[in-house]
Amino acid sequence: MGYDGRPILLVDDDRMVTVSVGRLLRKTLRRPVETAGSFAEALKRLRTRADWTCLVLDVVLGPDQPSGFEILESARVMMPAVPAIMLTGLTDRELINRAAALNATYLCKPVAPSELVLVVTRALIGEHSSDSRIAAAVETTLRQHELESQRCAELLRLAVGGRSPEDIELAMHIGSDGYAYHVGKLLKTTGARTLENLVNQILWRALGES
């Protein structure tokens, strides 16, 4: 997939979060990521351009600041269709309904990195075609490397789906040794350095087909 100059906007008042999550999204999705730590800074960045490809907004931005929802409401005036993801540790029905009314995905913290990447990927590809394109990218990878092991293929599909190693072990009824064995076989067959890198390659392929 070629580099896409359309950026993602990440808004969180915790600088450690914007640095770590921003780095993750840049590395995984090959998209530029601009960050903001306050309501005012977010609005300033939003107004600098109209080609944002996704907004990732923390709901709570600290004391005496409007919430991420106010940022999204302003964004919807300028760009009504841009995909948006609201991050929060709160599980309040009113907030969930508000996110739905603004056509945003509501994601509860703590969020595993693989889960966040998958949600953003689906938002970038498009709501109606994301699952099929990600699945197609997995199958293309399996065919390219002539991976015949059904167990390895199952593990890869689960990993691309954002499942943790522990979840994969439970789903496949294997222990940590079995997990390590199948991962090792996947890496040897595909030439990937790590399972994370392999998953990232598949997400890049899915985005490249969007």
Q: Which CATH number does the domain housing residue 199 bear?
A: 1.10.10
Instruction: Check pLDDT > 80 for residue 159.
Output: yes
116 and 36 together in one domain: yes
Enumerate residues 6+ apart whose C-beta is below 8 A from 182.
149, 151, 152, 155, 172, 174
**Per-residue confidence (pLDDT) for residue 62, from 0 to 100:** 84
pTM of the model: 0.74
66 and 119 together in one domain: yes
Q: What CA–CA distance (Å, rounded) separates 125 from 119?
A: 10
40 and 56 together in one domain: yes
User: How confident is residue 2, by pLDDT bands cut at 50, 70 and 90?
Assistant: very low
Is residue 1 domain-resident?
no
Number of domains comprising the chain: 2
Q: What CA–CA distance (Å, rounded) separates 210 from 206?
A: 7
Instruction: Check pLDDT > 50 for residue 153.
Output: yes
Is residue 194 domain-resident?
yes
**Per-residue confidence (pLDDT) for residue 130, from 0 to 100:** 72
**Per-residue confidence (pLDDT) for residue 129, from 0 to 100:** 64
User: What is the domain extent for residue 194?
Assistant: 130-208
171 and 138 together in one domain: yes
**Per-residue confidence (pLDDT) for residue 164, from 0 to 100:** 85
178 and 135 together in one domain: yes
Strand partners, 34: 9
57 and 70 together in one domain: yes
22 and 103 together in one domain: yes
User: How confident is residue 133, by pLDDT bands cut at 50, 70 and 90?
Assistant: confident
